[in-house]
Amino acid sequence: MRHDIADLRIRLDAIDRRDAEYKEQVIRLKKVLDEATALLTRNSADVGAKAAKNESDIAILTGRIEELNHTMEPLVRQASSDRSLFEARLAALEQTQNKIADKVALTTPDDKEQLWTQAAARLSAGQRDEGRRFYRTFIQRFPQDPRAPQAYLVLGQSFAQESKFPNAAAEFQKVLDNYSSSPEVPEAMWQLALTFSQLKFCTDARALLTDLVKRYPKSSRAGDARSQIKQLAKLPKSACTS
């Protein structure tokens, strides 16, 4: 009997312990549930607020888009009108240019020697545009003539005299590109280097002069190139863009 009573007490104690544990678990679960409920309520409120703000932002943006569309419509129409006017003017200019080219072609002599002589004469007389047209016609008609690279040099120098250095550089470069084995290459390199200096491209000018001295050490421009390299080295950084 005592054994049974003791056993029952042990079981009651175990039940009491489990009951206490269950109660603690219930308390913990209730706390977790309360926290989760509070968090869910807060998140729902946040989501609602964000949704309302998004709707407000969308409404504002929609209004702005409509306003921009209303503003852009006349601008688009004006741009289309301007484009049509520009295209018409461009077509008229192209026709005028073609007429001028045809007129120049008719006035240039067919004989190679006369063309060369008249090109130089017009340039010497200060008729630079006409002289350049004659030289270009000479190059176009007689690209294999030994004087073709000389024509490019003359063209480049005429632009340099007008301080049109980008145009001058383009003409000197054509000698190097199209007549790389001609005797005019050292002079073209020298003239192009001077043009680069005027454009403040000091690095390019120095590299070209160095190449000139290396490739053509016996040319008449080699000494000039060495002196110019020294002059470039003395320039302040502010005098060069590259």
Domains of the chain, by residue range, sit at: 1-107, 146-239
Tell me how crowded residue 191 is: count the other CB atoms within 10 A of its CB: 22
Residue 198, pLDDT score: 93
**Token reading at 99:** 């007429």
Question: d(Cα 133, Cα 109) in Å, to the nearest integer?
Answer: 12
Question: d(Cα 215, Cα 187) in Å, to the nearest integer?
Answer: 12
Answer for the pair 156, 195: CB distance below 8 angstroms, yes or no. Answer: yes
Q: What is the mean pLDDT of each run of 10 residues along the chain (242 residues)?
A: 57 62 65 66 60 67 65 61 57 57 61 94 93 96 95 96 94 95 96 94 94 95 95 88 84
Question: d(Cα 117, Cα 123) in Å, to the nearest integer?
Answer: 10
* Claim: this prediction has a pTM higher than 0.75: no
Residue 56, pLDDT score: 72
Question: d(Cα 19, Cα 96) in Å, to the nearest integer?
Answer: 107
Which CATH code, of 1.25.40.10, 3.20.20.70, 1.10.3720.10, 1.20.1300.10, is assigned to 146-239? 1.25.40.10
Question: d(Cα 236, Cα 205) in Å, to the nearest integer?
Answer: 15
Residue 222, pLDDT score: 94
Question: d(Cα 22, Cα 28) in Å, to the nearest integer?
Answer: 10
CA angle 34, 36, 42 (to 5 degrees): 105
